[in-house]
Structure 1
Amino acid sequence: MTPGRSATPPPNPPGTPPKAGTLTSPPQVVISKGSARFTAEGQSVCLPDDIESMEFPATYMAFPPYTVPGAGTIKFKLRDGHKTKRTSSAGKPVVIDSGPLDYEITVKTPAQMPNPAVPPTPPMLLDPTGTYTGTANFVVVVSKPVTAS
């Protein structure tokens, strides 16, 4: 699974905080073992919890005016198209490749910008946004098609 590069920023009226950010170094996530009770092409198959329970560090850049990147954690949320309708393992659907998935970055260290005001104001202004959302690309590497529904 390879996360996408950015969240698409909506128009931002002057003087309002940004509503989206860009991952500054998009991580590539590799899932080495799924928890389904069967394999496909010799590889373990994932259940939705295998992906949606992952949480890992991410660096983001808030859209202007913030020039110092922020940091947080990123989690993925599968869309219905990623889950089988009939094939299951232990009563749960299995994960299939089907386009983009959603992600959410929870900000731990806000992005910053130098304060243009004269001292004694704070030296940096902080991005007030607590979470960012966007889409990532979900890629399953297989040498031949596997059919599941």
Structure 2
Amino acid sequence: MFDPSSLTTTDLLQAYVSILRELRERGIVRTSNNPIGDYTEWLVASKLGLTLATSSMKGYDATDADGLQYQIKSRRLTATNRSCQLGAIRDHDKEAFHFLIAVVYEEDWSIRSAYKIPNSAISALGRFSGRHNGFLIWATDNLLDHPGVTSISEQLQ
């Protein structure tokens, strides 16, 4: 197993750059940003048979064979931050997407939970934040109490 403790800080940062470059070459991530968003979009698209939109597409991240549009959000829990709050969901009232896919990872990148949420449920499940200019949703199992929300955790394994 890889032991990073013997590396210098510069070595660690250079390894990170090399890892991101390799993930880009494999088509798993599309940017040099924090890889969680790109990785989740790739994972969801590959497991659910979706086609990724261009990275500049506003409002949705992927489409299915029937033309339904999906926005994909994710959160990785850590020892110091266990919040399941997703990034703000903006413009959902403009119906730019039909479903929100929410994926929560444990710190080791294993999937803790994943949900398919109809756009029509977003305002009931979240709260609007003017500061974030969008709805905030916490991706926890209580989402499953809402009609139309389903767990897709097993499909992403």
> If the TM-score is normalised by the length of the shorter chain, which range does it land in?
under 0.3
Q: What TM-score, normalized by structure 1, do the two folds share?
A: 0.22
Greater strand share, structure number: 1
Structure with greater Cα Rg: 1
> Of the two structures, which has the highest relative contact order with CA contacts closer than 8 Å and spacing of 6 or more?
1
Q: What TM-score, normalized by structure 2, do the two folds share?
A: 0.21
